[in-house]
Structures are given as structure tokens and as C-alpha cells.
Chains A and B, each alone.
Chain A
Amino acid sequence: MTGPILPAPVRRTLSLARKETFQIIRDPSSILIAFILPLILLFLFGFGISLDANSIRIGIVVQDGRADARSLIQAFEASSYFDVVTAFDQAELEPVLVSGKLRGLVIIPSDFSERLRARDPPPIEILTDGSQPNTAQFVTNYAQGVFGVWQARQFGDAAAKPSAAITPQPRFWFNAELTSRYNLVPGSTAVVMTIIGTLLTALVIAREWERGTMEAVLATPVSRIELLLSKILPYFLLGMSSLVLCAIAAVFVFDVPFRGSVFALVAVAAAFLVPALGQGLLISAVTKNQFVAAQLALFTGFLPATLLSGFIFEISAMPLPIRTVTTVIPARYFVTSLQTLFLAGDVWSVLLPAITRMLAVGTFFLTFTWLATPKRIA
């Protein structure tokens, strides 16, 4: 496959890369990691993880049967945020709240109409299931919103209270409907590419050390740089093809808008693969054992990429020591870049620093791999 005109180092690198490719394709567990696992994860993140609280099940306790109360219940029922069950007695709904089948209660007391007209707040009470803090937060915000809108409509023209007020006008840029899928699906690409770049690379190469075939390669005239390049090349291509797969799935299956350029996407992904592959190579060179490599790659690659990259959990809210750790996690910069590219466009003031940092972490890993790879068998 290589022409005779190519210089020897290039030829050696290419044939080693070819060997490496066969090694990936012929092993069932590599196929599992390279193709099946990414698809499963993309699918799970796309459909399974959602922070959009739609139709939260709540109960309304109505002790006031007058028109005002009925109209408020209708307002709750009409809201797309809630799925409403009503009851007369609070004791009837409390056990349902404990069981977790309801996430909150709205209590409309028997003197609701009087309190409302007397402007004697608070006319209603909200009770939430605090064991689910995020949902409880949403129940509170949405219920206050529904009540506020209802109250304004009810009394706005009746002059029962001054209608003038300062109104906050929120505008959510890039994601007006706040669909969490729009952030999560681009972010999950980082997890998928970490699996290929770090886990797969670490495992396949650790196996070579374990079986002693690495020594056989080292005994040939191959230089260290050729060896490293031949290892990086196939995984780099595999990583890039998984990017293409993820991007196509994001746009066509999950309907995520793509507002950046393909060029910027490729540049950012290529920059991310440098530290991801570097980490995989380093793990394999240090452990030289598949089992330990698998564990290390999962704990230092996959887990941080999922939990510490800002893809689900907000980094700014983490305690300082953990925030400091995230600054050396390449996936963090990749997640930010992906979310920006998909939703906002080519914002180079975000992308360039991200690329620089990913390359810096990558250089660090590759340097150590270089040092950890013996030049010749001792």
C-alpha cells in the first residue's frame, strides 16, 4: 500500500499504523468500545437525561369552592409545566407526596377569596418534595409564575390593585426555549470522544505491553517518534469519525441547531484529541497492564469527562479544590467549545483559549509518554 518513493520513516510509521488498525478491528472488545458504547451513550444522553421539567405532577388542595379558586386551578391545569391532581383534603394528598408520585402541593385555603381581595398575602401556600431539590426549585418557580400571571390577569383591569409594576423581561439567548437537550447532546460528544481517545487507546496499547509484542516492535529499527505517531494516527482517525457520527446524530436525530462552522468544529475536536490520546498513551505506558489501564482510564478519563466537565453539573458551583482540578481536565474546554459552536456560533474568544489549553494539557501528557516509553529494551 505504500509506494517505494516514500522515505523509510514515513513507510515504517504507516505500516505500523496499519497493523494498529487491524488490531482494533479484529478485537471484539475494541469494537464494543469504539462503536457500540458511543452509540449507547449518545442515545442515553440524548433521550434519557433531561433537565426540562415538563408536566411535573403536583396536587392542588382546594378548600375554597368559589369562582376565584376554580379559575386559579384552571390556570394551573392549563400550564404545560404541571400535571394536576386536585383534592379537598390535604391529608389525602400528603402520603402521595411522600411516595414521590407528586412533587409538590399547592394549597388553596378556605378563605382564599377574602385574602386575595384584602391583599393579605400569602393567599396560597406551596409545599414541595425537598428530597428532589432541583425539581422542588422548579415547582416553586413555576407555581409562583402561574400564580403571578393569573393574579395580574384577574385584577389587572379590575383596578383592585395598581397594575403598574416593574416587569422582568428575560431573554434566553441561543436557546430561547431552554431545551436542555441542546446543551447535553453536544456535551455528550466530549464523553464519547473521551471513551475512544482515552479508554480504547489505553486498553489496546496496554495489551501490547502485557503480551510483550511491544518489545518485539521496539526491537525493530523503529524510532520512538515513529512508534508514537503510528499509535496516534489510527485512534485520531477513529476519534474524528466518531465526531462526525455524533454531529450528524445531534443535528438530524436530536434536532440540535448547528450555528458554527465545520472548520471550527474540526479544529476544536482535533485539539481535544491531542490530550485525550495523550492520556490514553500515558496510561498504557505507565501501567502496561490492561486491567489497571481500564480502571485508570475510567476513573481519570470517563468519570471526569462526564461529571467534572460542566456538561451536566455547573463547574462554578463546585468547591474551590474541585474547580482547580477541572482546569486540567481537557473535556471541560471541549464541552464549552461544543456548546458554543452548536448554539452560539464561531465565538473565537471562547474557542481559542479552549484550544490553547487543550493543547497545553496534551503536550504535557505526550511529553510524559515520551519519557515513559523506553527507547530500547533494557
Chain B
Amino acid sequence: MWRRIVSLIIKEMLAIWRDPKGRAVILVPPLLQLVIFAFAMTMEVRNLDIAVLNLDTGNRGREVEAGILGASPFDDVIRLQSVNQIREMIDGQRVIAVVHIGQDFTRRIEAGKSADVQIILDGRKSNASQIVNSYLSSIISRVSAAAYAGHETPDVLRVRHWFNPNLEYTWFTLPGLVATITLLTTIIVTALSVARERELGTFDQLLVSPLRPLEIVVGKSAPGLIFGYLHGTFFILVAIFGFKIPFAGSLFALYGSMFFYLLAVIGIGLFISAISATQQQAILGAFVFASPAVLLSGFMSPVENMPDWMQLATQINPLRHFLVVAQGVFLKDLPLFEVARNTFPLVLIATITLPASAWLLRKKVS
């Protein structure tokens, strides 16, 4: 029995590798994903232009202006002359924010009275403008502290970011990519496996061979598992050596959990394969599964921001659970108990999808 399975696995691997299309499926997506996700996926703010309208003639207004000039996220600081220019700057998206300092700014401070600085931000970019606002506010509170007697330092609280002290976004994306890339590879490889044979007409030959249905399922699952592990390993190496992201946890826990994750994904892939008649349908089916899976995993935006009913629906998404494991083991040295707790749903998904697709494959034949 083992010999039959092993030769089937070898045949499956060769079938993928010898086909130029199959090779493209294996090689192109991970490289493309690496470039796009690792470099383009960021919530930070950088290289933004900002405008200042300083109607104050005193030195306090200049201090605010100087603080903004020195701030890192701003590329260019445009000086405005009149209030009328604000609308055209913001509406036309020339700048993300305009800092408006009123005429009596220095005078009010000198008189010991409170003064306002108006910050107008482009709400079309809600995330970026929120971060820009907090930058500007902290600059202003520094000036404020210096301006009023008795305030040497501003009331900045002591903040520590655990697991990622400088809040590098790549520390979030790369461990996450280990999970998403294996999902995409495994789902496509598995979804195509039966569909390819159907299209070529060789699936019937496989069925009349001495192989038992269970052995066929094992043989069809193996390439997804092998390529999933290969791509996962590639991204772990890129993260550690290419991006210098510290690997805090246990590789054993990560690879162990990945096994059940891949099985869960393979179950879904075989299911797609069983219901598609052509390779093109299988690709589309994989896509229809993969895009919601990635969108609703916590990778694009946190799961806890979703409405409650949708959070519940994400429970059936294998990526959602494994993402916690991959990011957790990588950065936080997630305790084994937590790894197991997040792997358990994966085991459940696999025990449902694998037998279901095996049954469906058999049913389709008879």
C-alpha cells in the first residue's frame, strides 16, 4: 500500500513540475507576493506633503512651523499666504493636512492665555490623516510645554511596544505572509490536481487502477502539503535573514501547527477540485475561496473591528487561526497551550473537509 502511495505522490509531483503552467503556479505567485505584500503593505505614513498657514508674526508661530519642518513623515512643507488657499490644497489632494496658526497666536501666549492651532486634515484618507494628526499634536504639545512657564517637558506618557519595539510594519507582514502564501500555494496546487486529470481524461484511468479511493486522496493531498511547507519555509527564511525579523518562538510548534493548517486547506482545495470540470474553473474556485479568506483573516484589518456576526463567520477560515499562530510564534514566543488552542479549530476543519471531499470525489465518479 505504501509503495503505491509513494509512487502516486511522485507521479503527482512530476505532473505539476513537468507542466510549464504548473511550474508557473509554483514559482510566480510567491515571488510576486513577496514583492507586493512585503514592500507595499504598510499602514505607516511617509513622504507626505503638508501645508502651513502661519498668520502669526511672533516667534511662537515660527516654533510650531520649525517643529513641523523637522518631523520625519513630511516630505515637503508648503507655506500658504491666505485662508482661501486651504480648500484648493486639501480638495486637490496636494497635501494631507494644513496647519493654521492664527494672527494673535504669540500675543495670546505672551499674555498667558490659551491659544489654538487649527489642523485641517483630508478625511478621504482616514487612517493616514489620523496618524498625521497625532504627529502634529505631539509637535504642538512640545511647543506648548516650552511656551508656558513651569512646563519644561510635555506630559508624554511612557510607552513601550512589546514584541516589536519600533512598530515596524514588516514585522507584522512577513510572519503573516508565511500563513497567506502557504494558503494560496496549497489551495491552487490541490484545486488543480483533480481538475487537470479530468480535463486530460486520465482521472478515469486512475480510478480503474488498483489504487483505493483513500490512497488517491492521500496522493492528491501530498503535493499541496509538500509545496505548502516549501513555500512556508522560504518565507520564514526570507523573514529571518532578509528582513532580520527576530524569531522568538519554537520552529517545532510552528511546523506542527502548519501541518493541520495545510490539511484543512487541502480539504477545501480537493473540494473545489471535485466540483470543477476544468482547470480554469478550479483556478476561479480557488480565487473565490482565497480572496475572502485573506480579507477576513485579520491580515488586512483586525478581526476585532468586524461586526460580531462576521467575527463568528471567520471561525471557519483556516487562515484566521493560523495567522495568530504564525505571527504569535514568530514575534511573541506564543506558549504551546495558545498554539494548541488556535490549532484545534484547524483540526476540526480538516476532519470535516477532507472526508467530505473524498466522498464527493467518489460520488462524482459513480
Contacts and interface: CB of A to CB of B under 8 A. Distances in A.
A132 B328 CA distance: 10
Nearest to B302: A135
A291 B283 contact: yes
Contacts of B218: none
Given A133-B169, A147-B157, A166 B147 contact: yes
A240 interface: no
A186 to B, nearest CB: 9
B147 A48 contact: no
A314 B123 contact: no
Given A126-B159, A169-B119, A51 B24 contact: no
B295 A44 contact: yes
A50 B327 contact: no
Contacts of B360: none
B29 A54 contact: no
A122 interface: yes
Contact of A162 (B122, B151, B300): B151
Contacts of A127: 159-162
A318 B170 CA distance: 12
Interface stretch (B5-13, B110-118, B203-211, B260-268): B110-118
Interface in B239-297: 278-281, 283-284, 287-288, 291-292, 295-296
B195 to A, nearest CB: 10
A137 interface: yes
A125 B162 CA distance: 13
B214 interface: no
Contact of A350 (B91, B117, B169): B91
A307 B126 contact: no
B144 interface: yes
Contact of B114 (A164, A203, A295): A164
B198 to A, nearest CB: 14
A135 B127 CA distance: 11
Contacts of A207: 280
Contacts of B85: none
Nearest to A298: B287
B183 interface: no
Interface in A309-325: 312-314, 316-319, 322
A299 interface: yes
A52 B335 CA distance: 30
A275 B143 CA distance: 49
Contacts of B295: 44-45, 48-49
Nearest to A126: B159
A140 B134 CA distance: 10
A69 B74 CA distance: 38
A131 B327 contact: yes
Contact of B125 (A57, A126, A290, A314): A314
Interface of B: 21, 24-25, 28-29, 32, 35-37, 39-48, 64, 88, 90-93, 109, 112-131, 133-134, 136-137, 140-141, 143-144, 147-151, 153, 155-165, 167-169, 171-172, 278-281, 283-284, 287-288, 291-292, 295-296, 300-302, 304-307, 310, 324, 327-328, 331-332, 334-335, 338
Pick the 8 closest A-B CB pairs, nearest first.
A175-B123, A130-B164, A130-B161, A166-B144, A172-B123, A50-B305, A133-B167, A174-B123
